[in-house]
Amino acid sequence: MKIVVLDGYGLNPGDLSWKGMEALGELVVYDRTSPSKVMERSANAEVLITNKTVITAEHMSALPQLKYIGVLATGYNVVDIDEARHRGIVVTNIPAYSTASVAQMVFAHVLNITQRVGYYANENAKGRWTNSIDFCYWDTNLIELEGKKMGIVGLGNIGQATARIAQAFGMEILVFTSKEQSALPEGMKKVTLDELFAQSDVVSLHCPLTPDTKEMVNAARLRTMKPSAILINTGRGPLVNEQDLADALNEGRIAAAGLDVLSVEPSVFGNPLFNARNCFITPHIAWATKEARTRLMDIAVNNLKSYQEGNVINNVAR
């Protein structure tokens, strides 16, 4: 069985091992594959492994030997699922591997905004504390989280993990979810989306990207938020209208934003959020702890091994 990894670098830049997958067939790993190279590199492969390299209906029609596509992520929009289903090609994803890491990143952003540890560490490295006439100094708004309201949009695995961390800080939890109030963990209150944005001190986005949720954070919704509110997005970039958010930040209509995702990645020149007031952007790394990537690799190997054994798991093209 020939196995081709089209873009392995994101998962494994060199600190993990492909040995588990090597044991399952003839393995070829490419760090990255441009669209023009997909067909050439996929020739004669029964298995394709992809992270962000798009696999289209045209690719599948030209690859009759292709039987399995493994996506190295939870989201699988890089594969034409309808075409795969039509052709009987198994498509697997990697569920729930990064829950703890993404929830941790939510609060990395929250704490950066409320305490500004990096800012003060940099100031002190430049000698500011040494030259201070007082025993301490601060010139940002330092915020205590206890008693504040945390609004969580979407209560899947990551939303629930984020809520538990927020509760540990003594925050009140508001959630927008399809679940009934009676099914929610203790201490979580179900509210409408409008209520969540209007009442929350921190809003964290954890819902899937659908036509209904695209640009759910827009000028109208931002106007309902508290001027002291913080927006966190570790979910999907297109959940946010980026120009509307930049305008709200620059005009002081909300206090700050912490973002790990953007609508186009890698980011494009001229994105208004990079110069927006109190906007802190990380390069889509919430998932990328070594622990999470190790789990991802292990699940990817197990998905393929199970397929070979006739026990298909995590198939999103059923």
| Confidence (pLDDT) at 93 | 98
Instruction: Decide: 226 and 196 in contact? Cβ < 8 Å.
Output: no
Task: Give per-residue pLDDT as tens, 162-210.
Answer: 999 999 999 999 999 999 999 999 999 999 999 999 999 999 999 999 9
Residue 85 carries which side chain, given as an amino acid letter?
Answer: R
Omega before 13 within 30 of 0, i.e. cis? no
| Confidence (pLDDT) at 85 | 97
| Confidence (pLDDT) at 32 | 98
Q: Which residues, including other chains, have CB under 8 Å from residue 73's CB and lie 6 or more apart?
A: 51, 52, 93, 94, 287
| Confidence (pLDDT) at 47 | 98
| Confidence (pLDDT) at 293 | 98
| Confidence (pLDDT) at 144 | 98
Q: Which residues are catalytic?
A: 236, 265, 284
Q: Following DSSP, what letter does each residue of 89-117 receive, concatenated? A: -EEE--TTSSHHHHHHHHHHHHHHHHH-H
User: What span, in angstroms and rounded, lies between the C-alpha atoms of 103 and 154?
Assistant: 13
**Backbone φ, ψ for residue 89 (5° rounding):** -85, 130
| Confidence (pLDDT) at 52 | 96
Stretches in the chain below the pLDDT threshold 50: none
Task: Give per-residue pLDDT as tens, 86-106.
Answer: 999 999 999 999 999 999 999
| Confidence (pLDDT) at 296 | 98
Question: How is residue 157 written in tokens?
Answer: 């695995």
Q: Which of 94, 56, 78, 71 is nearest to 5 (CA)?
A: 71
pTM exceeding 0.75: yes
DSSP classification of residue 276: S
User: What span, in angstroms and rounded, lies between the C-alpha atoms of 108 and 104?
Assistant: 6
